[in-house]
Amino acid sequence: MATPEQVEGLLTRMRKMSAADLSVLAACTQTPESGMTTAPDSPNEVLWSEMVALGWMTVKDDELELTEGFLFPMKIYNIRPEGLEPISNLLAALQNKPGN
Protein backbone atom coordinates (compact mmCIF):
# COMPACT_ATOMS: atom_id res chain seq x y z
CA MET A 1 0.00 0.00 0.00
CA ALA A 2 1.33 3.41 -0.95
CA THR A 3 1.68 6.17 1.61
CA PRO A 4 0.00 9.54 0.96
CA GLU A 5 3.47 10.97 0.31
CA GLN A 6 4.21 8.32 -2.32
CA VAL A 7 0.87 8.97 -4.04
CA GLU A 8 1.51 12.71 -4.06
CA GLY A 9 5.00 12.09 -5.47
CA LEU A 10 3.52 10.03 -8.30
CA LEU A 11 0.93 12.73 -9.01
CA THR A 12 3.65 15.39 -9.08
CA ARG A 13 5.65 13.32 -11.56
CA MET A 14 2.57 12.64 -13.69
CA ARG A 15 1.65 16.34 -13.83
CA LYS A 16 4.99 16.97 -15.55
CA MET A 17 4.44 14.26 -18.17
CA SER A 18 2.98 14.75 -21.62
CA ALA A 19 -0.55 13.67 -22.48
CA ALA A 20 0.96 11.18 -24.93
CA ASP A 21 3.03 9.54 -22.19
CA LEU A 22 0.05 9.30 -19.87
CA SER A 23 -2.20 7.95 -22.62
CA VAL A 24 -0.18 4.72 -22.71
CA LEU A 25 -0.84 4.11 -19.03
CA ALA A 26 -4.51 5.08 -19.38
CA ALA A 27 -4.96 2.68 -22.28
CA CYS A 28 -3.36 -0.12 -20.31
CA THR A 29 -5.86 0.36 -17.47
CA GLN A 30 -8.56 -0.44 -20.03
CA THR A 31 -6.70 -3.56 -21.20
CA PRO A 32 -4.64 -4.56 -18.13
CA GLU A 33 -3.62 -7.87 -19.68
CA SER A 34 -1.56 -6.00 -22.26
CA GLY A 35 2.10 -5.12 -21.80
CA MET A 36 3.77 -1.76 -22.22
CA THR A 37 7.29 -0.89 -23.20
CA THR A 38 9.09 2.42 -23.51
CA ALA A 39 12.51 3.89 -24.12
CA PRO A 40 15.12 3.56 -21.37
CA ASP A 41 15.17 6.51 -18.94
CA SER A 42 11.96 7.94 -20.42
CA PRO A 43 9.39 9.61 -18.16
CA ASN A 44 7.21 6.51 -18.51
CA GLU A 45 10.01 4.16 -17.47
CA VAL A 46 10.75 6.27 -14.40
CA LEU A 47 7.05 6.39 -13.42
CA TRP A 48 6.39 2.74 -14.13
CA SER A 49 9.50 1.70 -12.18
CA GLU A 50 8.12 3.55 -9.16
CA MET A 51 4.85 1.67 -9.61
CA VAL A 52 6.77 -1.62 -9.76
CA ALA A 53 8.39 -0.73 -6.42
CA LEU A 54 4.90 -0.20 -4.96
CA GLY A 55 3.77 -3.62 -6.23
CA TRP A 56 1.31 -2.10 -8.71
CA MET A 57 3.13 -3.30 -11.81
CA THR A 58 5.50 -6.03 -12.87
CA VAL A 59 8.48 -5.73 -15.20
CA LYS A 60 10.44 -8.28 -17.17
CA ASP A 61 13.52 -7.90 -19.31
CA ASP A 62 13.31 -8.87 -22.95
CA GLU A 63 15.19 -8.28 -26.18
CA LEU A 64 13.96 -7.31 -29.59
CA GLU A 65 15.99 -8.81 -32.42
CA LEU A 66 16.73 -6.22 -35.07
CA THR A 67 18.56 -6.57 -38.37
CA GLU A 68 21.95 -8.24 -38.58
CA GLY A 69 21.44 -9.98 -35.24
CA PHE A 70 21.50 -6.75 -33.25
CA LEU A 71 19.54 -7.14 -30.00
CA PHE A 72 17.72 -4.17 -28.51
CA PRO A 73 17.22 -4.60 -24.74
CA MET A 74 13.81 -3.62 -23.47
CA LYS A 75 11.54 -3.98 -20.45
CA ILE A 76 7.92 -4.99 -20.56
CA TYR A 77 5.63 -3.56 -17.88
CA ASN A 78 2.24 -4.96 -16.87
CA ILE A 79 -0.33 -3.66 -14.40
CA ARG A 80 -0.97 -6.12 -11.58
CA PRO A 81 -4.60 -6.65 -10.52
CA GLU A 82 -3.91 -4.92 -7.21
CA GLY A 83 -2.43 -1.93 -9.05
CA LEU A 84 -5.37 -1.31 -11.36
CA GLU A 85 -7.46 0.68 -8.89
CA PRO A 86 -4.69 2.93 -7.51
CA ILE A 87 -3.36 3.67 -11.00
CA SER A 88 -6.86 4.44 -12.26
CA ASN A 89 -7.38 6.71 -9.24
CA LEU A 90 -4.18 8.61 -10.04
CA LEU A 91 -5.27 9.13 -13.64
CA ALA A 92 -8.71 10.30 -12.46
CA ALA A 93 -7.09 12.72 -9.99
CA LEU A 94 -5.12 14.25 -12.87
CA GLN A 95 -8.32 14.77 -14.86
CA ASN A 96 -10.06 16.44 -11.90
CA LYS A 97 -7.20 18.84 -11.20
CA PRO A 98 -7.80 22.41 -12.50
CA GLY A 99 -5.42 23.24 -15.32
CA ASN A 100 -5.15 19.64 -16.58
Q: Would you state the pLDDT for residue 96?
A: 81
> Domain locations in the chain?
4-91
pTM of the model: 0.87
Predicted confidence at residue 97, as pLDDT, reads 62
Instruction: Tell me the residue type at 34.
Output: S
Res 98: pLDDT: 53
Contact between 61 and 52 under an 8 Å Cβ cutoff? The reply is: no
pLDDT for residue 100: 46
- DSSP for 22-57? HHHHHHHHHSTTS-B---TT-HHHHHHHHHHHTTSE
For the 4-91 domain, the top CATH level (class) is mainly alpha
Tell me how far apart the alpha carbons of residues 59 and 37 are, in angstroms, rounded to a whole number.
9
Residues of the chain with pLDDT under 50: 99-100
How confident is the model at residue 63, as a pLDDT? 87
- What is the per-residue pLDDT for 25? 95
Residue 96's CB is within 10 A of a number of other CB atoms, namely: 8
Give residue 37's identity as a one-letter amino acid code.
T
* Cross-strand partners of 75: 61
- pLDDT for res 64: 86
pLDDT at residue 41, as a whole number: 87
Q: Would strands 57-65 and 71-79 be described as parallel, antiparallel, or unpaired?
A: antiparallel
